[in-house]
Amino acid sequence: MDKKTFLSTINLFFILNVLAAQDFKFELSPDGILLMESGDRVLFYQRNLKSEEGKYGRAHYFHPLYGLKGDILTKDVPPDHPHHRGVFWAWHELLLGGKKVADGWDIKNIEWIVNNTTSNTNEKYAILNTNVVWRILKDNGKALDIVEETCLVRVSQPHQRLRRMDFEIQLKALTDSVNIAGSQDEKGYGGFSIRLILPENVQFYDQQKLLIPKNEAVSGGDWLKVKGELGRVSAIPTQLILITHPEYPNKKQKWILRSKGSMQNVVFPGKNAVRIYEHEPLILKYGLILFNKNTPYKLVQNQIEKFQDLDTIRKE
């Protein structure tokens, strides 16, 4: 190979790597941050406060979530449950000193103040970091910041019709005696949730069996497959798997499942409250895998295993 050809090859290699690293792109808007991949929309982070005629003031959630072919997969403020919002995590019971002071699920007496966001991309991932404070109003009308939340969201490049999204949420108390809990009924719902546009033929599976939705939580495995034609546009609709890490937060998982008119919820912690400490964060880990009917299932299984291997996630 002569010198000119060698230099041309090196330049081409450099250009291709730069282009690969630029496949992902974050775009800022007045409301939040849009993630693009090769010109296609992937995910929108709602950073700033959004409300409906002064009601359901909400921030710090993801909507729309887009399928592999650009279909919108999620809903925000649906008429049946206007407090639902795309991909979100929230709890009915926010307790201070044993007293309920706010309801993050129904969005009562709480604000999410996004202090900071950082983002970067490389040839494999787009990474968004957020720093958020949970703020309430005390009985005397003064604002009180009670929880600091940091969240890392990492989105992988599509690989043979598959994309994985990792969510690592860390909660630290900013004052003493902060607890969270789910609804105080037989359902106990609360935690990581996704409000999908559900098809008529939706079914739910874990790694072993078909899961039948009930009013109360259903016992299942570490992950949930939502089987059905999600989205409304593409001829090859997206399918979705919601993954939990086997140790963050639960070793035995329960799910709130709904085949229409509601969200899918990874139940944590249920009715019984858990403490959020000042010195050691509560860590929650979840993942989403998007794929379609042409995706080899071995690839899907490989991504599930990678997510559940904490060391692998950190080293990738």
Strands 162-173, 87-90: pairing is unpaired
- How confident is the model at residue 256, as a pLDDT? 97
The pair phi, psi for residue 300, each rounded to 5°, is: -60, -50
Q: Are 145 and 110 in contact (CB under 8 A)?
A: no
Nearest to 168 by CA among 91, 243, 263: 243
Q: pLDDT (tens digit, 9 = 90+) per residue, 167-212?
A: 999 999 999 999 999 999 999 999 999 999 998 889 999 988 999 9
Q: Are 35 and 46 in contact (CB under 8 A)?
A: no
- How confident is the model at residue 313, as a pLDDT? 64
Residue carrying structure tokens 């990792």 = 166
Q: State pTM to two decimals.
A: 0.90
Residue 74: half-sphere exposure toward Cβ, Cα within 13 Å: 25
- How confident is the model at residue 23, as a pLDDT? 87
Q: Is 53 exposed, middle or buried (0-12, 13-18, 19+ CB in 10 A)?
A: exposed
Low-confidence ranges of the chain (pLDDT < 50): 1-21
- How confident is the model at residue 301, as a pLDDT? 92
What 3-state DSSP class applies to 10? helix
Domain boundaries, the chain: 79-315
- How confident is the model at residue 200, as a pLDDT? 87
- How confident is the model at residue 3, as a pLDDT? 43
- How confident is the model at residue 14, as a pLDDT? 36
Q: pLDDT (tens digit, 9 = 90+) per residue, 110-119?
A: 999 999 999 9
- How confident is the model at residue 247, as a pLDDT? 80
* CA atoms of 199 and 195, how far apart (whole Å): 12
